[in-house]
Structures are given as structure tokens and as C-alpha cells.
Structure 1
Amino acid sequence: MYDLGDLVEMKKPHPCGTNRWEITRMGADIKIKCTNCGHVVMLSRREFEKKLKKVLVKADANNGKSE
């Protein structure tokens, strides 16, 4: 599905011209940040799932940290 740090594509493009968003917060609400202009939007999980088109890039499982 989707997780924190994933890059996602929404159904409608952002007015700045890009359609790539990074998930920056997960919970009852989901906060996404435009990768082009940095605009932040918070959506309810239900609204996010309705507007989500697809997951473009999955976040690294360990977020780049080596153990």
C-alpha cells in the first residue's frame, strides 16, 4: 500500500505543474508535501485514499540507516 516517506501520485496535478508528493505524516490524517514547490497539504486518510492514483517510489525499509 503506502507508508511514511513514499512518493505518490495524486489524481489531479498540483498547480505548480508536478504531481509527485512525499508522505511526511501518517495517522488518522495524512500530510503530503509537494516535491516541486514544497507546499504541504493535510488530508483525512479516507480523502487521501480517494485522491491517490498510485505509489511511485516506496521508501527504503530502514530509511537509509545501516545497522
Structure 2
Amino acid sequence: MKLNKLNYEVGDIVKLKKPHPCGSFDWKILRVGMDFRLQCEGCEHQIMVSRKVIEKSTRKLIKSTCTKENSMI
């Protein structure tokens, strides 16, 4: 059982184990919930994936530099 759950937020970049057919491993998170909407950083293709699949296949989580306070200005 994996206890260190990652805190996924909109705008973060997720590096997955397997590449997209375009060759990119990096995906931008557009929506968070039981399902995630991800956008490929290589070709901008969007997909919906379950949280379970994302938690299993995440290699690295790169937090976005934009915070909620900065985005409201």
C-alpha cells in the first residue's frame, strides 16, 4: 500500500512512465477529480484518465509556479 499520495493540482506537469505516441512523457493537468483531464505537452492532445491510473503511472510531479493568489491578480 502506497501511503505517500501526491497532491495533484490544475496546472501541474505530470511525467508518466510510458510516452504518448508523439514521444512526450509530460502531461499538463487541466482538471482534477475522480478523473483527470490531461493535455500532452508535445502535441496538445487531450485525454480523460481515471485517478487510479494516474497515481499508478506517475514518475514525477512538477508543480506549477502559478499560485491561486497570483492568478487572481
Equivalent in 24, 29, 32 of residue 35 of structure 2: 29
Do 2:8 and 2:32's aligned partners in 1 also have CA atoms closer than 8 Å?
Answer: no
Partner amino acid, structure 2, of 1:62: K
Aligned mates of 1:42, 1:66 — CA distance in 2: 27
Instruction: Judging by fraction of residues, say which structure has more helix.
Output: 2
Count of residue pairs brought into register by the alignment:
66
RMSD: 1.6
Q: CA deviation at 1:64?
A: 4.0
Would you identify which runs of 4 or more consecutive aligned residues in structure 1 move more than 3 Å?
none
Q: Identify the residue that residue 13 of structure 1 maps to in structure 2.
A: 19
Q: TM-score, normalised by structure 2?
A: 0.77
Runs (5+) with no aligned partner, structure 2: 1-6
Q: Identify the residue that residue 38 of structure 1 maps to in structure 2.
A: 44
SS at match of 2:21: coil
* Relative contact order higher in (CA < 8 Å, ≥ 6 apart): 1
Instruction: Judging by fraction of residues, say which structure has more strand.
Output: 1
Runs (5+) with no aligned partner, structure 1: none
Aligned mates of 1:63, 1:26 — CA distance in 2: 19
Greater Rg over alpha carbons, structure: 2
Percent sequence identity over aligned pairs: 39
SS at match of 2:71: coil
